[in-house]
Structures are given as C-alpha cells and as structure tokens.
C-alpha cells in the first residue's frame, strides 16, 4: 500500500471520528439549548471558517455557478437532515439513531433509478429490504427507539438521501469546495431568522460555548478531511470503511451517556451495516465499474 493510500485512510477514519464527535456533542447540547440554535451555530461557524481559510484562495469562483438553484436546494436538504437528526438525538439513543440515519445509502440506491437513470437491480432491492429489516428490529415495540423520535430519524435519513442524490448530480460540474460553501451559506442564512424565536435567554457557560463552537469546527474539519481523503485514496478503498462511524458513535454513546444497544438492536444495526456494505462492495467490483 502506498504512502498516499495510507494517508487517505488515516484522513478518512479521522473524519468519521469527527462526525461521531459532532453527533455526540449535539446530543449533549440539546439538553440545554434548542435545536435551531445549535444548527445555526454549526453552519455559521463552518461558514466563517471557509470565509477565513478557503475563500481568499479561491475568490469568486467559490460562488459563481451555472446551477445556483440546485446548489441551494442541496444545501436545504442537508440543513433538513441536520435538523431532523438533532431532533431525533434529543430523545433517542445515539447508536440506534445513527444506524437508522445510515439507511440513507439504501434509499439512494432505490431512488437513483427514477431520478438519476441508474440501474436498480435485485441486489439493490434485497440490500434495501435487509436494511429496513434492521430498522424494524431497532424500532420494534418495547425497544429503545420509537414515537416521534423514530419519525425524526427516518426523515433525517430521507433528507440526507436527497442530499446525496443532488451531490451525485452536481459532482460532474461543481467543485467540492463550492458545494461545501453553499451548504454552509444556506444553513447559516436560513436559520438566522428562526433563532430568535427559540432563544430562551439562557447564557452558555464557558464549556457550553466551546462545545457550541466545536459543532462548526468538527463539521467543517471533518468535511475537509473527507475531501482530502478521497483525493489521496480511491473511493473503492474508503467507502467500505464508512460504517466505522457507527462504531465510533456506539463507543461515544457508551462513554458519554452510558447507552448501548440491546441484543436485538445490535442485530438490527448489523443488518443495516451488512446491507450497506453489500452495495458498496458490489459497486466496486471490476465488472461493475
């Protein structure tokens, strides 16, 4: 394995860990602050980071595009995914919620046919059924997840699936940094008028203020590392490692919240992971490239 590939793997694993830290921090902060405030803070800090470190080197190219409508729509789908995920995390265990969120690649596999003209075969349908069987095990009566929290988690997965489809559609013409800039711009501007309605007057402590700022730092840094990882290492090498994020999330949920999946929920999470991996590995076979 080359040095570049090793670097790409290290960057990718680091990015996944940062995303797990982002979800864990978000869940912790929702006990003290409203979801709209936290989402706005995340995107605003992310935007400020790009304005300071990225925009000076790119200039107007990071904004000028022939497809502003699609980029803005893509930004809104990620914003909705962030809102729904944080609403779900507010009341549900982090591992199970993240597992349901990770059904988004399975949703993409089904929607890619009618929306992107990609072939959807029997393998895609079987993988999707396996993934949703996992969701049913997690959301079974008497399990740790249910009610409105479950609805929020499913909505988050569907919103993120829409975001991934739009990303595929735009990837041929729009640079990664332009896409990242638009998501940060749309999220911060869209949430700004909403924040005053959810501000309770609670002043964050120094620790809470640091954690709120860290939402944007971890999200922005994670996306940057992810971009660099795919530049150094082929997607076929990195994609099967995506579900390592669920391992990070489960560990952090146990350490921070003393939450861990029961036996049936663990089996459901395994179903979702194996279903997603089967699609990734099949797509990366030489005769499917």
Confidence bin at 255 (pLDDT 50/70/90)? very high
The pLDDT value given to residue 99: 92
Q: Which of 233, 273, 288 is nearest to 106 (CA)?
A: 273
- pLDDT tens digit sequence for 77-132: 999 999 999 999 998 999 999 999 989 888 887 787 777 676 767 877 788 888 88
**Domain that residue 233 falls in:** 3-288
Reduce the secondary structure of 171-223 to three states and give it as a string.
CCCCCHHHHHHHHHHHHHHHHCCCHHHHCCCCCCCHHHHHHHHHHHHHHHHHH
Confidence bin at 144 (pLDDT 50/70/90)? low
Q: Please provide residue 232's backbone torsions phi and psi, each rounded to the nearest 5 degrees.
A: -90, -30
Q: State which H helix or E strand residue 51 sits in.
A: helix 35-53
Name the DSSP class of 142.
Answer: T
Q: Which of 223, 216, 225, 242 is nearest to 10 (CA)?
A: 225
Query: For the chain, what is the mean pLDDT?
Result: 88
Q: How many domains are there within the chain?
A: 1
- Percent share of the chain, pLDDT over 90: 55
Confidence bin at 283 (pLDDT 50/70/90)? low
Q: How far is CA 155 from CA 46, 138, 186, in A?
A: 23, 16, 19
């Amino acid at each position: 394995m080359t040095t570049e590939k090793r670097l790409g793997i290290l960057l990718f694993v680091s990015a996944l860990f940062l995303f797990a830290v982002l979800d864990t921090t978000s869940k912790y902060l929702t006990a003290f602050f409203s979801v709209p405030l936290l989402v706005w803070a995340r995107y605003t800090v992310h935007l400020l980071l790009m304005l300071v470190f990225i925009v000076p080197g790119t200039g107007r190219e990071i904004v000028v595009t022939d497809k502003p409508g699609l980029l803005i729509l893509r930004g809104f789908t990620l914003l909705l995914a962030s809102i729904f995920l944080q609403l779900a995390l507010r009341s549900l265990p982090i591992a199970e919620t993240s597992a349901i969120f990770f059904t988004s690649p399975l949703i993409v596999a089904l929607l890619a046919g009618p929306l992107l003209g990609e072939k959807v075969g029997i393998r895609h349908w079987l993988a999707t059924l396996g993934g949703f069987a996992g969701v049913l095990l997690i959301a079974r009566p008497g399990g740790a997840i249910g009610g409105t929290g479950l609805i929020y988690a499913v909505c988050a997965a569907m919103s993120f699936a829409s975001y991934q489809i739009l990303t595929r559609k735009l990837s041929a013409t729009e640079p990664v940094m332009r896409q990242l800039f638009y998501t940060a711009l749309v999220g911060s501007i869209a949430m700004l008028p909403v924040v005053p309605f959810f501000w309770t007057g609670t002043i964050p402590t120094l620790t809470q203020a640091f954690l709120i700022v860290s939402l944007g730092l971890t999200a922005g840094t994670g996306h940057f590392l992810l971009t660099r990882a795919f530049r150094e290492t082929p997607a076929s090498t990195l994609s099967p490692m995506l579900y390592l994020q669920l391992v990070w999330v489960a560990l952090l949920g146990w350490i921070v919240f003393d939450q861990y999946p029961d036996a049936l929920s663990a089996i459901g999470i395994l179903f979702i992971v194996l279903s997603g991996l089967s699609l990734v590995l099949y797509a990366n076979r030489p005769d499917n490239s």
